Amino acid sequence: MSDKPLVWIIDDDDISKYVMKRNLKQLSVTNVIGFPDSVQPLKILTDNFDATDELPDIILLDLNMPILNGFQFMEEFKVANKNIKKDIQIYMLTSSLSSDDIDRSKLFPEISEYIIKPIQLRKLSRIVDRVLQD
């Protein structure tokens, strides 16, 4: 992994994406790609599973989205991840305090953490530091 992690923000809320990008920029993380839903990122993952430079180090995944929600993305990711040649850390972001959602997220070992929005700068810093140390 390089010292410039690639971060994907998968979120249909433009304001959330803007704030996360701004906060990441404060952490000197500028290699950030935003997606309005999870369809295109899944296609990129499945089509480029062995192209590790094109795949993200971190995915910040919104739970509530159109087309495929965060859990549906994770179901598809589990299948694709069998072929992916890179360790990708996924953080599920949501405004949901539902214990059902929290419990369901724990069924996916691929999810590094369930985070309540808005994500704080220090939490983003911890996530980036964790990836840089690997």
d(CA 53, CA 6): 9
pLDDT-derived band at 96, boundaries 50, 70, 90: confident
Backbone angles phi, psi at 119, to 5 degrees: -75, 130
Residue 1 in this model has a pLDDT that exceeds 50: no
Q: Does residue 134 register a pLDDT over 80?
A: no
Kindly report the CATH number that applies to the domain delimited by 7-133: 3.40.50.2300
- What's the pLDDT at 2? 54
Helix (H) or strand (E) holding 10: strand 7-10
Q: Where are the domains of the chain?
A: 7-133
Q: Model confidence over 25-84: pLDDT tens digits?
A: 999 999 999 999 999 999 999 999 899 889 999 999 999 998 999 999 999 999 999 999
